[in-house]
Structure 1
Amino acid sequence: MLRLWCLAIVVFALSTISLGHIIEVQASQKECFFEDLHINDKMTVTYQVGGGGNLDIDFWLADPQGLAIGKHLKQSTGSTSFTAEQDGRYEYCFSNEMSTVADKIVSFNVHGVVYIGEDEAIAPIEREIRNLANGLQAVKDEQEYIVIRERVHRNTAESTNDRVKWWSIIQAIVLFAVVGWQVYYLKSFFEVKRAF
């Protein structure tokens, strides 16, 4: 029984680790996040808008002094990478202030590499492991992007299917109404009027 509970906890922990961040940015609002970095630390932020409005959002990344490092306006997907040139708190924000009606659903990932020292001090196997880890992270990001795009396309296809279904039902109702009216009209046209 104890093993079953431990297995359940491990599966739950792994499933939460493997998920990216998904947020809902309300209309006319922005959501900001912070990362504390040291000199030569590397950070990458990738994002994808998965729902709402025109599937676009404003994104910017600022250094500790508030100077913009990266800025994307009205983009549905994007990626920004940089190397920290100073210690401090770096801020990145997703802004939906351009929209007054539609909320946006944004999926994003933050990747960081902590600077250890000169590349010569790193063993060749460790360098290869880091390169492999970066490649695996890129594959994971691409898979998450594909999942979000598939969800958007599936929602569009289901919406179109619903519209076609209701349009077909309305056409059938109108057709039966017109046929009924024509039968009634022709029947009354050929009836003989009798006067007593």
Structure 2
Amino acid sequence: MSPPCPSPSPSPCPLLPVALALAAITLLRLAHPAAAVSFHLPANARKCLREEIHKDVLVTGEYELSEQPGGRTDLKVTDSSGHILYSKEQASKGKFAFTTDDYDMFEICFENRLPAGHFRGPDQQIVLNTKHGVEAKNYEDVAKAEKLKPLEVELRRLEDLSEAIVNDFAYMKQREEEMRDTNESTSARVLYFSIFSMCCLVGLATWQVFYLRRFFKAKKLIE
């Protein structure tokens, strides 16, 4: 925590904006944490992780697999259309990165394979760390390229985080509008169907009354 400004100081405390900026950056980082997972993959098994990513978002991943004598594990990253964004046979340790062209569901799959005739083997431990958006951006390279000071780098990060949050809210608003339009359209169709059903029932009841009246008159049960 920064010390308070002395009261007699004529100029504002220079540490207060820095502290507020760092606090805001910390809160925004908590809103967009990096996704790191660790799991065990049995022999001759396949496991996939799926995640929805917005349009024009940088996605990076770092993976590390434990050794498995006599076996191999293949890694493949695909989108919902089946396009391969990254592929690695006999994966052990590495990184991948890609930028999304559209809002889509992306799938990261690990497949453990043993040689023919081998059906058992130890489980393989896989550690996967994925980042997207601002978390995936390397601000050290930005600082070197634009010759930014540490505070300017943090402010740039804060600006990018704020922009990402605004884009998320804009997308949520768009989805809310689409859902509202869908609900209104469904309600209107239900209303029209109900009116049509009522008209059919009234018409059927009227026809039945006239039919029964003619039937009873033909039988001379009524005049």
TM-score normalized by structure 2? Answer: 0.42
Length-normalised TM-score, structure 1: 0.47
Give the structure with the larger strand fraction.
1
